[in-house]
Amino acid sequence: MSGRAQLMWDEAVTGYDFGPGHPMDPVRLALTRKLVEAFGLDREVDVVAAKAAGESTLRLVHRQDYIGAVKAASADPAGADQSYGLGTVDDPAFAGMHEVSSLIAGQSVGAAEAVWRGEALHAVNFAGGLHHAMPGGASGFCIYNDASLAIARLLELGAERVAYVDVDVHHGDGVQAAFWEDPRVLTISLHEHPRTLFPQTGWPEETGADSAAGSAVNVALPAGTGDAGWLRAFHAVVPELIADFRPQVLVTQHGADTHFEDPLAHLAVSLDAQRAVQLACHDLAHEYADGRWVALGGGGYAVVDVVPRSWTHLVAIAAGRAVEPEATIPEGWRQEVFARTRQLAPARMTDGRWPVAWSGWEAGYDPADRLDQAVLAARRAVFPLRGLLA
């Protein structure tokens, strides 16, 4: 197995563009790629452009009629069929939509193939993580569900146990739906509570179909949760489940929209806590999955201050050359940010909160604390189904 990581990248993924004023601004991808380059990380990984996912691959998750609707909307955006979630405010149709969505999906599928075949130990596609797309419809800025497609490809290649950990601020509903009945896939999502955020799913009681009871895990965090609570919840639920499941591959989704600056949600997590979870996911892959790790991007709408720094940390961790939080951001990148966006760029790779302090679950919990109530609800719903003590 190659010790080098792969960074999946094709410049054309920046064509995933819903138009002016849409929160999913593709500049976040371009700026992340440039920051990776500014730190020289592109020399520490193999940069690979995989081919777009073809129809047979897309059909591993998506219905044929939906793929046809995406193709039709891609050729004629004005005629998009809104019954498939296309041509809506969240998912406006645009020319070439099928092609670029297939390309992003292809990068995640290529990442999964490379890791499974031993061509790379870790693979990152920060353009991916489009976790809301359903088998038969677009949703939440997501056309094709690349995360689900990567997992489905792993199963097709012979994987018997794949764990998916989603720390985006929004529930990983599309991935959960795709594998709701499949005990080979463990989906774990930590997200803002559905009472206060799209897509209004991800309740702790959602634990998988009868044929896969305990294969879906949802930690619904109260609005306002900050670093200490977020890390406490992650470590109170994820490691124990991964240790029990012992996946052959760990797939993780690292939406940066948990950040306190993100305009679309209500958690209060710092860049430093996001980095801490990235490190934890890397370590879990090595401890329980022979190091096989596929890491994806996701949401994130503070497109200058947060997303590029968060995902550059992710690439650096996957490359085995973590960027220190106190590192100064190269001036050339900051100039590029201003030229592209007329915004002032951050100066360092930290929010000034490293190292992040948090309290472990094993020390006990407070039944009156809202964060601890969220953790308890998740543990009580799922752990007994998996033969674990809640």
Catalytic residue (one of 122, 131, 132, 193): 132
b or e along 199-210 (b: 16 or more beta carbons within 10 Å of the residue's beta carbon)?
bebbbbebbbee
Give CA–CA dist 129/66, Å, rounded.
19
Catalytic-residue membership of 132? yes
Contacts of 355 (CB under 8 A, 6+ apart): 272, 276
Give CA–CA dist 156/376, Å, rounded.
35
Helix (H) or strand (E) holding 189: strand 185-192
Measure the CA dihedral 15/19/21/22, to 10°.
-70
| Beta-carbon count within 10 A of 366 CB | 10
Q: Kindly report the length of the chain.
A: 390
Contacts of 247 (CB under 8 A, 6+ apart): 161, 162, 163, 186, 288, 289
Q: Which two tokens stand for residue 305?
A: 């201050």
Q: Which two tokens stand for residue 188?
A: 């774990």
Q: Which sequence positions are flagged as catalytic?
A: 132
